[in-house]
Amino acid sequence: MKPGRPSQPRLTQTAILTDALALLDQGDTALTLRALALRLQVTPMAIQHHIGTRDALIRALADHAYADVTAPDEGPPQTRLRALITAYAAKVRTHPHLTIALFRTPGPLPTQAQRITDTLENLLAQSGLTGQNALLWRDILIDWAHGAALAQSPDSAALDTLLAALNPL
């Protein structure tokens, strides 16, 4: 046996994100750097070295989860809009605690969330909406996706978590 540090499993960003999403799917409070480190059998500092803070982890999780949310490349803009919003709502429904965690995370949108928003704006422009009307409809469609998906989520605790966040006490 060689002297030095004990052998540890190789830690990858994919492993971190996969296990972090599994923890987050159990509830917003289930995901801590300590709980994730315990699950991965590493130290919390190892997680921080790869990802950073919990907020950075939430943004990375959003990028991981939303990477496959796309609109078809062809077809009428409204058909493509429907497909994009439907795919996004399905992802929110699958991972409701991720959406709630994102609502609580300060800072800019994660890259993939911004890409979805930009695609939505582009498709609205292709549909003939511009300026404030396009922004208004972008916000309406995103709010609809969040509301409908969270309401249909099999995890009613997600709604309880969201409502608890509204209580300043």
pLDDT tens column, 84-136: 999 999 999 999 999 999 998 999 999 999 999 999 999 999 999 999 999 99
Count other Cβ atoms within 10 Å, centred on residue 160: 11
pLDDT at residue 153 in the model: 74
pLDDT, mean of residues 140-168? 75
Residue 138: what residue type? R
Q: What percent of the chain has pLDDT over 90?
A: 73
How far is it, in rounded angstroms, from Cα 28 to Cα 108?
Answer: 20
The CATH number of 13-61 is 1.10.10.60
pLDDT at residue 157 in the model: 60
How far is it, in rounded angstroms, from Cα 133 to Cα 125?
Answer: 10
pLDDT at 159 over 90: no
Instruction: Output the pTM of the full model.
Output: 0.84
Residues 6+ apart with CB under 8 A from 6: none
Alpha carbon dihedral 109, 112, 113, 119, in 10-degree steps, equals 120
Q: Which residue has the tokens 């943004």?
A: 59
Taking each helix axis from N to C terminus, what angle separates 54-66 and 111-126, rounded to the nearest 10 degrees?
Answer: 40
For 131, the enclosing helix (H) or strand (E) is helix 131-152
pLDDT, mean of residues 32-42? 95
Q: Locate the domains of the chain by residue range.
A: 13-61, 64-166
Six-digit token string for 116: 């979805």
pLDDT tens per residue, range 41-95? 999 999 999 999 999 999 999 999 999 999 999 999 999 999 999 999 999 999 9
Count other Cβ atoms within 10 Å, centred on residue 75: 12
User: How many helices (DSSP H) and strands (DSSP E) are in the chain?
Assistant: 9, 0
